[in-house]
Amino acid sequence: MVIGLLEAKINIPGARSLKDKRRVVRSLKDRINNRMNVSVAEVGSQEIWRSAELAFVTVAAEQKIVQQRLSELIKILEFNANFLLVDLHTEFL
């Protein structure tokens, strides 16, 4: 069993309030949950309205599958017009 963890920091330049930020984060979480077998949680910067820290976790029997899921997830994060990807950290457990 392999657990893949991806931590991402994003900047939301269009957010003018926490409500705007939460709308962007919720939209991203919904899109990921609909397309992939990945759990998502906001883990930091919860009261800062222009940034978010998100954690994504996936589990599979083989590391190859986990790597494929995380690679697809990174593509989604890199090519999103609603926010800028600031930092990424990937870990396998």
pLDDT at 87 over 90: yes
Q: Are 38 and 69 in contact (CB under 8 A)?
A: yes
Q: Is the pLDDT of residue 66 over 90?
A: yes
Handedness of CA 56, 57, 63, 66 (dihedral sign): negative
Mean pLDDT over residues 32-47, rounded? 91
Whether residue 69 contacts residue 60, with contact meaning beta carbons closer than 8 Å, is answered with: yes
Structural domains in the chain?
2-92 (3.30.70.1120)
Per-residue b or e along 42-55, where b marks 16 or more CB atoms closer than 10 Å to that residue's CB: beebeeebbbbbbe
- Report helix, strand or coil for 65: helix
- What pTM value is reported for the model? 0.90
Q: What is the mean pLDDT of the chain?
A: 94
The tokens of 35 are what?
A: 């397309």
